Amino acid sequence: MRISAKDFSSVVSKIGDEIAGKYIRKIIFYSSRIFFLQLSSSRRRYLVINLDNANPSVFISGLSNTPPTLVNPLYLFLKKEMNNAYIVNVSQINNDRIICFKYTITTSAYQTVKRRLYIELISAHPNLILTDDEDIILNAFRKNTIDAPRIIARGFKYEKPHNASRNKIASDEFFDYEKFTNYELSRLNQSSMTRNQEKFIKIYRFVNSRIKAASRKIENIKADVKKANELLSYKEIGDGILAYPIDKKWRTDKLEINGKIIQLNSQKTLAENAQSFYKIYKKAKSTIALSDKLIADAEQELNESLFIKDFLSSSTEEEIERFVSQNALMTAKDKIRLPVTKKYAPYHLKSNDTVFYFGKTAAQNDYLSFVYASRQHIWFHLLNQPGAHVVIKKPNPTDEDLITAAEIALLCSNLDRGEVMYAVKKDVTRGENKGEAHVKKYETIYVSFIRPTTLALYKAAHRLEVK
């Protein structure tokens, strides 16, 4: 929420009225850019400093259930230099979006020293700068080098920026401080993803590396298969060499076979050259034979990693904490314990010893199709329209099973008739968005009515149990 310099003066005044004469009891780094300073007036009153590049801000508000601090060098420095700091006064600098807190602290030698904290809320260059009473810089959020026009580095004198920001023209409307703080609090709620990425950076990097590795593996296998298919013709070349009506011990550097000139190793006999071509052919054939399993394994790893990435981006800090603790000893070769919370759990029902699974949300569909189901299982979806994913977890379902699964797919979309496609799961790949799928080949079933027995089964379906 961009405000004018005049309105910012109101913010500074509000902050000064409340914080002057108070102590800073605790410092919390919510993220690398958002800091909470607890006031002595109340356990829930905090000075909030948000050094967001696009829209930096500072305000005082009540916060409940503040999370543990993230620890970094700047946090450790501020904890030493500002813990239990007594705020003397607060002022605005140069009629700009710069606020200065003058405070005192008692050192470990029981000496009282004066300090200043400058917060520069300048778009694209927000900063937090700590100085002594003579404005000698002690530390800063953003530092630069001595060749910069305005040096911000330890030991140099703090210089106030000139024309730091373009002041928004003040309106005649009354500045609503409560509306301003409510807006800034809503931004804090939206920043939880950033905090999680910083706090759990190792697990984010681990999962992203698995995604990249699995993607590269799939691409490499497909490239190997493409090359191997081209080498299958080497069997015909070997046959052609052996069929040549000359002594097989003869040596030459080329032969014409089926109208093509084939280059040979002149150091080998015709028989030895033929064996070389057969050897390459057998290796290519073996590569193709193994490719399906290798691609299946790589796709499973990719789908699981994408699922975990989605989990990380849509879960609470506590849920991620549990997941990380379960995988504390995780290495690149370990099997990750998938974080299956209730929001991912699909529905299931049983009919004649066949279990049917289906999702009702994008998250459930995504988990069911690309994590829970195996390549040999049968997958169902409405033809040419959005709907639920339905899976039969057995490789050779009966015709009765196929009809029941198609009926379930229709019931999930509140339809009583329609066309449903089905495919072997190995022919279904993940789409661009959560819950989307691409189907390479499929067959269809048209259902003209829903049988009462299937409707009863559908109504009795329940969620998979999750821990």
Q: Is the pLDDT of residue 331 over 70?
A: no
Q: What is the DSSP string of 115-163?
A: EEEEEE--TT--EEEEEETT-BEEEESS---TTSSS--STTSBP-PPSS
Which part of the chain has CATH 2.30.310.10?
5-190
User: What count of other Cβ atoms lies within 10 Å of the Cβ of residue 130?
Assistant: 21
Amino acid type, 373: A
Q: What are the tokens at 365?
A: 């569909």
Cβ within 8 Å of residue 243, ≥6 positions away: none
pLDDT at 336: 56
Beta strands in 259-363 (DSSP E): 260-263, 347-351, 354-358
Q: What are the tokens at 65?
A: 């259930």
Per-residue pLDDT band for 166 (boundaries 50, 70, 90) equals: low
The owner of tokens 């920043």 is 191
pLDDT at 339: 59
Supply the DSSP symbol for 463: E
| 42 and 66 Cβ atoms separated by less than 8 Å | no
The tens digit of pLDDT for each residue in 227-275 reads 999 999 999 988 888 888 777 788 888 888 888 898 998 888 989 989 9
| 199 and 37 Cβ atoms separated by less than 8 Å | no
CATH, domain 201-326, list 2.30.30, 1.10.287, 2.40.128, 3.30.230? 1.10.287
| 254 and 273 Cβ atoms separated by less than 8 Å | no
Q: Is the pLDDT of residue 467 over 80?
A: no
pTM of the model: 0.56
Per-residue pLDDT band for 390 (boundaries 50, 70, 90) equals: very high
Q: What share of the chain is helix, strand, coil (3-state, %, to 5)?
A: 40, 25, 40
Which part of the chain has CATH 1.10.287?
201-326
Per-residue pLDDT band for 54 (boundaries 50, 70, 90) equals: confident
Rounded distance, CA 400 to CA 188, Å?
A: 53
pLDDT at 329: 43
Q: What are the tokens at 303?
A: 């789908």
The tens digit of pLDDT for each residue in 342-380 reads 778 899 999 888 999 999 999 899 989 988 888 899 999
Rounded distance, CA 37 to CA 52, Å?
A: 17
Report the CATH number of the 5-190 domain: 2.30.310.10
Closest CA to 137 of 161, 159, 120, 154: 154
Per-residue pLDDT band for 340 (boundaries 50, 70, 90) equals: low
Q: What are the tokens at 419?
A: 């066309």
